Structure 1
Amino acid sequence: MFKKQFTIQSNHLLKSSDRRRLRTELKECFPLLGDEDWERILPHKVGEVIVLKLSNKATVYCFQCNTENEALEFSSGGGKWGQPLFVFVPEEGGWFPTVYTLWKVPHLLPCFETHSQVSRFLLGAADLMLPGVYPTDNDGSFTNVQFGQRRSVIVRGNPMPFAVGVCCCSSVDIKNKGLKGRALKLVHYYGDGIWSLGDRSKPNQGFTLEQIDSVDNLNEDNNNVQLITQQQSNVEEEEYIAQTTSQLSIEEDGGLEHSNEVDMDALLDRCFLQAAKCSIEDRQLPMEASKMFNEFILPARPAHTVIDWKKSSHKKLGAFMKSLSKRKLCKLKEGKGQLQVLTINRNHEMYQSFVPYYDDSSKEKQSNLEDDGSSHDDVVSHNGIPQVSEMWKPHQHMKHFLECLQKNENALYSREEIREALQQYVQHKWPQKKESSENGEIVLDDVLRDALFKGNTKGLMEDIPSTMDWKEVELMLLSRMQPYHVLYKPGEEPMIRKGAVKPIAIIVEDRQGGRKHVTRIQGIETFGIEPEDFAQKAQIAFACASSVHPLPGKQNHLVEVQCQGNVTSDVTKWLLQKFGIPSTWIQVQDKRKKK
């Protein structure tokens, strides 16, 4: 049903009273689940429930966590609208769980078991036929199959459901007619549009978009499935890595035994020290502990290793961060249920003695960067946040100046590169005159005069000064060059845009004669922020209505985000902390009428 494209016609947050009513209705519809199961699926007073009404008359209920800690605790990621939990399909008779929900509680629905080769047809939106179904009983018969019953579909050897639908037959029909006809009309399956609304994860290695395979050789905990987004090694490799990790682990006490918990604790310590020494900079602090773990500590783990909180003595991220604080490796601040890392103690003995490790892939990347010789490698930060860099393109009268330095006149240069080029030129022309740089002045020769004044002088050449200040020369060179800016997104090619960086404008205005206010945010596209995604998250973060509107002008293709109420301080803080936007590129304008 959801193979065809659909559009989201409307979306809204579910109120707490409606949320309780929803949970009661779902409990009546799926009586096999206990209270603990429902806390894993739809916990009380945690996160938000977003309702999406689709163009095909279906309604999707998504669960979205408000903080990273909640996402880690309830194993709930999600896409733009959160993680889809249930779908209400009037044409098929009511409620259906999504595959994300079934992965958390596979016993939610009775299931049909099929062959791995049959799964490829179901992933193409075909219905399940009876010849491709294993009998539910050992004697080859089908019992407890009812017409119109909701059932999930699994592959033999893989306990995770990959499809859900409605039975097209009953046990009596199968007994009378034999294994002929349809067994299940497919409603939702792994890889369709509902799955695409979530984080597009998979429960184990057997799941691909082409076919579902058996995973009998994998030891998985079916009651707490960890959704993975990258390939994991097999059990033998994990045992081998656990042994090597214990040998390389950092020990605080020489009498510690190398148990599984100690090994995992040591691995967590190594990952933190690796991230602190190679990725995290002091200017990026303070930072939320969950953000530091997801974007720095977790990617810093050695190749082919897996962090399992169950095997550590900490059990949770908060306990691990507090243990680092007790050992004075970092300083924490706790408030509103969130932990923030204020500083990292870089004078600590463990930090000073730790030697960063490099795997083969990181060495290869490092060698490629060195061979490339690019000067913009440091622009892209390791925290996964898009970065914007100001660049300039030389004008035609700087040709001789760049030729003397053997530089490309069509390339883009940063402010630091222009300053270095100017210093190299002065040292090349006057290597003996050190006093010029000490006095802060530069002697202008014909090449520098052309670069600074040619085509831009109304008077005679004799009016041009013979010496100028260093900073004055640098600013004049920049003013004559064409400004550009480059957007760096992690995992994507840099986007070069003509023109200077336009700061983000946060404007608050009156509405209804000053009784109400509206906050308008303009220019966030420059920094790689999607306006629709920003508006949807702002609605939850600031507890206000938000929407996206096009800016006036036929030639203007940009949009702005409007939030009800005066939330200028909240938006400014959000842009600084969550998106890493420098304060120099944020402008706040108060256009309210003064009383």
Structure 2
Amino acid sequence: MFKKPLGGLKTSAPLRGSDRRRLKQRVIEAFGISSEDGDLLVPDGIQSVKFSTHLEEPGVAYLAPDGDPLWFTVGKGSDELVPTVYTLWKRRDILPALWTPAAVIPILIGGADLMIPGVVHHSPALKENQLISVLQYNYSRENPTVSAPLAVGRMALPSEQLDRGRQEKGKAVLVLHTWKDHLWDLGSKRDAPEALPISKPQDEPSILAGGDEKATACGEVLEPSATEAMANLKLDGGEDLAAPRPSYSPQEINTLLHTSLVQAIASSIPASAFPIPATIFYTNYILPSRPAFPSLLVPHSGPAPADLSPCPSVAEITVKASGHKSLTAFLKGEEKASLLTLKSPPKHAQQPDLLVTSVNINHPSVAGHHQYATIKDVEATAAKKAMREEKKREAEAGTGEVKVTELWKPHQVTVSLFERMGGNTTYHYSLAEIKALLNSYIATNSLVNPRVQAYINLDEALINCITSKSKGKAKGKDAAQEQVPIEFMKREELIKAVVERMQNWYEVSDGKDTVRKKGEIRPIQVVMKVRQGRKVSTMISGFEPFLVVGAEDMAEDLRKVCAGATSVSPVPGKPANSGMEVLIQGKQSVAVIDYLTSKGIPKKWIEVVDLSGKK
């Protein structure tokens, strides 16, 4: 709803005392909170501002004294208050919650609705049209977490129908507002709170069930293992997830782990990735290759489940729950079966892990293996479906706006880092995807500095990446600084350092054609300067990558719009075939901007420079 800038924004005005009290009472009644919480979420000095969406729907936003939007209403005559993510970061339990994988969040921020396959877990007994918060589920073998609320939406169907249709197409949540959209931009733009571990004390209700989160947020609760935490969660009707799904025996988990290893080998691990430390091999290749529906491969020895849901939870299929009990014992058993080869680390090595030096792709069990749906496949499919739905929705909307996406590809020193993080080294990443991958790697390896959580402790892979020379050679003072050992960095600085060492790409789409090229895209240049004595001319260059019109057509169009002479010539001072320049007589920057925006070019990609020296 807010993927485009808000229109018709007026100056915000403080609410009168009586209006503020009425708003507070509405919040208390609608969300069932106490008067003290009402004062927190509707503070003294709260302001209101009117706006309109890109669909011309009128709305009202209520802002905190510091400018953070707390509540909003949309629609003529609508009085339903919707909390923003800023409000949910203060009290996340005022709305029921729904989890989705990390790969889906950037798609929701781009304006898409949440599709059914993208739902990992949800609060019980949800009704159609009910307001819901969306949280990011971060998978980790030892410490699975969920983020603070990152989106607010409305259920497109009841939870009973959602559970019956997990393999069907369609929307689960109609997204109204997300972190980093244009409504969020009105506020302080602060970082989202840290993700919380999936944990629940035995004598208190789950956060998702609407319980008190204060103890969890303060770290005062017990933190059971991922298996115990998932077993404690409740699904529809308050039914225990673990009740109809008893655990596999250690021998059955042995079989599932062996099958996951065979699946990983059959999926062609690149030879350049070896040798791989055992823990990295286990985390990046074996765990993602676990079956999404294990009961289809290894029938459970106990009572059969009523459906094809994972039996048990995939999170239970770990080495610790197997008969091996340790990763070393498991890998050595597979080495005896000739599936892989191992090498002990050198004496006094800083890395005590075993090294996996190779895998046997010619092994009979690999040659006869039948591929199955893995948990990695399920998450990737959900993300692709959401992306297709978003593209279809944009095509139907027919906005005609040129969409410019800056991309980065792993290159040179960053290739090994992305391999270690489990990323695809041939993929073109957006900035949001790079951040998500790095944040997941930081969480999985517990790299957040325990004393100052704004800083990240750097491991060997990160240090090797960021201490290498970037695209330009460091000189003088900068070169001396690069030689100083780095042990930790701020999260944003770390992301920036990694991105600077990747290869620049960009993608431009006008709704019909999409072009992806290597290099850094730059804004269209509109330069006004004096030529031939006192005459001022306006020159336009750098428009070719944006798929607008040719230089000749642009010159003809602007000749009519500006009622002045125009000409076309190669950009002076640059090599042949590097682009054309359109020249117009007079200071015509306003007319040029209007023309380019009418062709769908966003204003952020138009740069005006006045060198004429005249006002």
TM-score, normalised via structure 1 length:
0.37
Relative contact order, CA 8 A, sep 6+: which one is greater?
A: 2
Bigger radius of gyration, 1 or 2? Answer: 1
